């Protein structure tokens, strides 16, 4: 392109060239054939002068360059072969000015001008691919800058056009694919667009298979692919992606000579991935694989403090995980020594200081859990405060550090019973719960912890608010997220959320229907059931396809980073890339749900059944939901005419657990206890006070929660006197996992079959014989 003439000039030579071009222009008229060619050469030279002299000389050279280019473009006509090149040069200048001034209008204009360049170049023009690639770069850069996703589809099409004119043997094939990969990856980091990440991975995989690469070039390309794969692992939690990333990193290390300056960085990436795998499994084999790489890094530690600190920081994490696995004090001492040195080598204000402080605090917190040593808890709190102070506002890990400090203050409260610690923990949890840019699962964990702290503080209203808000956030999880085993493990810690919030709702005077709504929502999410959540996306897509597309995309963005990470932040170069993925997604999806719920027929989108539909569950008999909460236990009754709550003052969660452990679920004493404290008060309140004298028995549906759900409530009763004091004497019992499950089952048309398969299993090895299994013969 024309500005290539200025590329290799020194600053002094450039100033001479600019003076010469000015003199030439002064001697020309606007009608001269070379006037605008000379004008653009001067514009390119002035832009180069700006690049060489920034930031000391200000914007004057760049401003003049932009002005000259605009004059040349204004003088050109549609079909002028130079117009596309001049437009791209103008887009470059506007983008540079935007870099310096952060002017949104310059960013917008740079994209518009780049699109103009694409429109101005013909496909048979030799510069067609170069123009498109330059336009693609500026459009992508400004889409990221403005957080504007509207250009993504157009960028996909532009890249297809570039590759369509790039043969497989073209010398620029690799550079064009790498440019595409780089832009797609940046778009993914900015928007969480899974399609952009898939395109980046696809391009990287293609690049590494292009023949005739040097060993160093191939190592670089494989290492880049490893970075893309680990991001997909962070998104989905698929262990295959982590394993593939490990293999790619290992190949990059193997292809990199020991003398190469890139080897240490690639070893560090391999160490990060192996450390992540070890953090998930805590398997000895995974530690030994990581240790091989750790030893190589320690044998060639860089001397520069910043590089040395980064290497030691990540090694310290792996040693900390080793201590978590073994609990040996010598492993604790090793981890502390290495992690402390990493902190000491990191100056105040450096980007790595906060994460290294956080990791050091995590080692002390782990030591408290292992030993109960209060001094280690105090050190964990002190360092946690330092890490929080070192984390700038807006950083994606700010919320995580608030959460970690809150957890430690909660532990101190349990040790010292100091309300100051409890109130500070509540305050920190509240910050995380209300932070839209925080990972959704972390917000849910914070809300649940806040609710529990408020219960300890006997602040029922604040506990109820925390619980209800947490369940609202929980409802935004996709069932796909909850299929991840790590998510399931973490989600299991939230199993009491619905029952506790329902109990609090009744405690603060909310209706039985409101309490049941929270219970149904939480149980539905924990069951990963899209039917229970009523997010009937197929119907919604049919009626409102544009809104449905926006909803699914925002849900995808919320899922980004949903893989629960170790307490220790492994692999700084990976995790720091999460900076803007959840920018304002939380606010957007909340507003979008309001819009969706304003549409006819979708008032309860992504909510449990409404009151009318829940009442329909009682069409064939009452539905009895027994809620086991921390404050009280209640039965929420659904009948066709409404909802009611029956207190069960003699039922206590601790009693349920002790009865199960001491007597089992089906002993006569347990069945009598179930009758006295649960079944009899409920049946009496419903009017089932004695066996029916004539006619059919009425049916009831039982929905049991918590540990009570394992007990045979249908068999509860006092059988010694045979006086009708048993559930089976008064009603017929059915079970359901939730009210929504009953409603959904009745929406599905029953399928009639006139055949059945009966299999007799009278003899089973290791078990006694089933005497009546032969009855199958009679039923044939």
Domain termination site, one of 351, 371, 392 = 392
511 within a domain of the structure (yes/no): no
The phi, psi pair for 483, rounded to 5°, reads -80, -15
Q: Report the CATH number that the domain containing residue 330 is assigned in CATH.
A: 1.25.40
Given this model, what pLDDT does residue 160 score?
A: 82
39 touches 72 (CB < 8 A): yes
DSSP bridge pairs for 638: 623, 643
Pairing of strands 731-735, 633-639: unpaired
713 within a domain of the structure (yes/no): yes
116 within a domain of the structure (yes/no): no
Residue 233 tokens read as 């692992």
- First-to-final CA distance of the chain: 88
- E strand or H helix that includes residue 545: helix 545-559
Residue ranges of the chain whose pLDDT lies below 50: 1-3, 478-484, 528-535, 561-565, 572-583, 772, 775, 778-779
Q: How many domains does the chain have?
A: 2
Query: What residue numbers bound the domain in which 313 lies?
Result: 301-392
Q: For the residues of 691-755, what is the DSSP string, one character each?
A: --SSSPPEEEEEEE-GGGGGS-GGG-B--SS-SS-BHHHHEEEEE-S-HHHHHHHHHSPPPP-S-
315 within a domain of the structure (yes/no): yes
Pairing of strands 698-704, 623-628: parallel
d(C-alpha 156, C-alpha 163), whole Å? 11
408 within a domain of the structure (yes/no): no
258: exposed, middle or buried (C-beta count within 10 Å: 0-12, 13-18, 19+)?
A: exposed
d(C-alpha 242, C-alpha 485), whole Å? 14
Residue listed under structure tokens 């004497």: 729
Cα–Cα nearest to 500, from 647, 373, 632: 632
Cα–Cα nearest to 72, from 19, 35, 109, 107: 35
Domain termination site, one of 377, 392, 407 = 392
Cα–Cα nearest to 328, from 290, 366, 360: 366
Q: Which residues contact 526 (CB under 8 A, 6 or more apart)?
A: 482, 491, 494, 495, 498
């Amino acid at each position: 392109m024309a500005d290539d003439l200025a590329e290799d000039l020194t600053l002094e030579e450039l100033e001479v060239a600019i003076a010469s071009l000015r003199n030439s222009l002064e001697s020309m008229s606007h009608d001269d054939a070379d006037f605008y060619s000379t004008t653009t050469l001067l514009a390119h030279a002035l832009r180069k002068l700006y690049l060489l002299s920034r930031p000391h000389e200000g914007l004057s050279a760049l401003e003049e360059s932009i002005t000259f280019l605009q004059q040349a473009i204004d003088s050109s006509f549609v079909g002028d072969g130079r117009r596309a090149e001049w437009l791209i040069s103008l887009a470059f200048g506007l983008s540079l000015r935007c870099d310096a001034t952060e002017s949104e209008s310059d960013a917008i204009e740079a994209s518009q001008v780049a699109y103009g360049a694409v429109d101005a170049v013909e496909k048979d023009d030799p510069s067609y691919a170069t123009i498109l690639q330059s336009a693609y770069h500026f459009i992508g850069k400004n889409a990221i800058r403005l957080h504007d996703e509207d250009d993504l589809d157009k960028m996909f099409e532009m890249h297809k056009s570039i590759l369509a004119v790039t043969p497989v043997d073209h010398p620029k094939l690799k550079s064009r694919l790498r440019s595409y990969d780089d832009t797609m990856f940046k778009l993914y980091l900015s928007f969480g667009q899974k399609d952009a990440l898939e395109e980046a991975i696809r391009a990287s995989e293609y690049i590494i298979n292009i023949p005739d690469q040097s060993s160093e070039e191939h190592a670089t390309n494989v290492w880049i692919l490893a970075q893309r794969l680990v991001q997909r692992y962070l998104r989905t939690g698929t262990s295959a992606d982590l394993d593939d990333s490990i293999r790619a990193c290992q190949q990059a290390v193997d292809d990199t000579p020991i003398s190469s300056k890139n080897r240490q960085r690639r070893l560090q990436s391999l160490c990060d991935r192996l450390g992540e795998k070890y953090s998930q499994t805590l398997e000895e084999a995974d530690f030994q694989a990581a240790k091989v790489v750790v030893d190589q890094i320690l044998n060639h530690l860089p001397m520069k403090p910043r590089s040395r600190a980064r290497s030691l920081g990540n090694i310290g994490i792996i040693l900390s995980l080793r201590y978590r696995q073994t609990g040996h004090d010598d492993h604790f001492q090793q981890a502390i020594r290495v992690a402390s040195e990493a902190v000491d080598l990191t100056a105040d204000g450096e980007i790595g200081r906060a994460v290294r402080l956080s990791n050091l605090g995590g080692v002390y917190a782990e030591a408290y859990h292992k030993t109960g040593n209060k001094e280690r808890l105090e050190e964990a709190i002190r360092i946690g405060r330092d890490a929080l102070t070192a984390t700038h506002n807006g950083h994606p890990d700010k919320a995580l550090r608030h959460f970690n400090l809150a957890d430690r203050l909660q532990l101190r409260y349990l040790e010292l019973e100091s309300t100051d610690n409890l109130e500070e923990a509540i305050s920190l949890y509240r910050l995380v719960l209300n932070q839209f840019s925080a990972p959704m699962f972390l917000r849910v964990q914070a809300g649940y912890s806040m609710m529990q702290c408020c219960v300890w503080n006997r602040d029922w209203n604040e506990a109820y608010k925390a619980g209800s808000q947490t369940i609202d956030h929980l409802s935004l999880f996709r069932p796909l997220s909850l299929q991840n085993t790590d998510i399931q493990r973490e989600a299991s810690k939230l199993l009491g959320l619905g029952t506790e919030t329902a109990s609090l709702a009744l405690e603060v005077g909310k209706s039985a229907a409101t309490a049941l709504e929270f219970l149904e929502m939480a149980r539905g999410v924990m069951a990963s059931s899209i039917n229970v959540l009523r997010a009937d996306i197929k119907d919604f897509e049919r009626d409102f396809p544009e809104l449905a597309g926006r909803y699914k995309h925002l849900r995808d963005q919320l899922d980004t980073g949903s893989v629960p990470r170790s307490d220790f932040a492994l692999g700084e170069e990976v995790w720091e890339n999460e900076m803007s993925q959840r920018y304002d997604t939380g606010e957007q999806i909340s507003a979008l749900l309001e819009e969706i719920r304003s549409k006819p027929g979708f008032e309860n989108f992504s909510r449990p059944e409404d009151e009318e539909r829940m009442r329909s569950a009682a069409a064939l008999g009452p539905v009895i939901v027994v809620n086991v909460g921390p404050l009280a236990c209640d039965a929420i009754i659904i009948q066709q005419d409404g909802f009611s709550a029956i207190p069960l003052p003699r039922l206590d969660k601790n009693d349920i657990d002790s009865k199960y452990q001491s007597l089992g679920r089906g002993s006569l004493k347990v069945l009598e206890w179930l009758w006295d404290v649960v079944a009899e008060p409920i049946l009496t309140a419903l009017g089932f006070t004695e066996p029916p004298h004539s006619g059919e028995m009425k049916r009831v549906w039982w929905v049991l929660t918590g540990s009570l759900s394992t007990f045979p409530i249908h068999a509860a009763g006092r059988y010694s006197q045979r006086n009708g004091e048993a559930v089976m004497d008064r009603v017929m019992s059915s079970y359901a996992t939730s009210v929504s499950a009953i409603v959904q089952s009745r929406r599905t048309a029953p399928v009639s079959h006139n055949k059945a398969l009966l299999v007799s299993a009278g003899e089973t090895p290791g078990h006694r014989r089933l005497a009546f299994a032969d009855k199958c013969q009679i039923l044939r």
